[in-house]
Amino acid sequence: MGICEGRVVIVTGAGRGLGRAYALGLAAEGARVVVNDLGVGTHGDATTERPADEVVAEIRKAGGEAVASFDDVADWDGGGRIVRTAIDAFGRLDAVVNNAGFVRDRMFVSCTPEEWDAVIRVHMRGHFCVSRHAVDHWRAEAKAGRPVDARIVNTSSGAGLQGSVGQSAYSAAKAGIAALTLVQAAELARYRISVNGLAPNARTRMTEQAFGEAMQAKQGEMDVFAPENTAPLVAWLVSERSRDVTGQIFELIGGLVRVCLGWTDGPEYDLGRRWEPAAIGDKIIELLADRPAPKKVYGTA
């Protein structure tokens, strides 16, 4: 038996890349999976493709259970239908893995309002709509006296944790998702809902555009950026074994797993009275000299 035996999990954006790897990995660990994917292009443009059907067929061929969903994660009613698909198909819901998204890479001076809104919508509103409907279901279960042991797994990014040149909208959305994870974990613990986040480093349609050559597999070496590398962490976070872990962001690069610290207090000085502008500036320069060097923004020297 796998560590997710009997668990029912929604994976959004599960038709390709990381989402596909998560869906297949969860199914291999015994989960029943709702494979949600609109089948859009890397910029969110409509296509006639239905990769969710292909992933469902692959899971069933391997002896697992899965159903497809084609609803838009960022549509309020669509989010409700995704949750209802899990309950109608399998009679329950145990976890949501928020993975769906796309990019509209632009330098900040070139980013249009339409591009900004599209990226923020799919990532931030997409995380909100599906999770909010799932939480409504779990709260109702808890209030009815039925046991709840639920999970939300959110997808942030290194771009959200440290910034990425040419990805202002994407970085802002992913930073927001990291903060959302902290708030959800604090608020939802009373309902026995654990919430954690991922900052995966993987070769996908999105990352190949920006980091294509650097992410290619090297002959004779571990394929560090294979999407399948992150699937075991997702399976563990979805499983009952992760019950006591919440409010964390994990970064995974090949076989390296990292617990992210996020914002924390740094060097400080209390004058004991109101500062003068010039004096506070001098002190800030001193404090900055004492702080650990931050990680560099992706794309800077």
Which residues have a catalytic role annotated? 157, 170, 174
What are the CA-CA distances from residue 183 to residues 9, 156, 220 (Å)? 22, 14, 43
For β-strands 249-253 and 256-259, DSSP reports them as antiparallel
d(CA 82, CA 252): 28
> Helices marked H in the chain — which ranges?
17-28, 51-61, 76-90, 113-120, 126-143, 158-162, 168-188, 205-211, 231-238, 277-290
CB 185 within 8 A of CB 196: yes
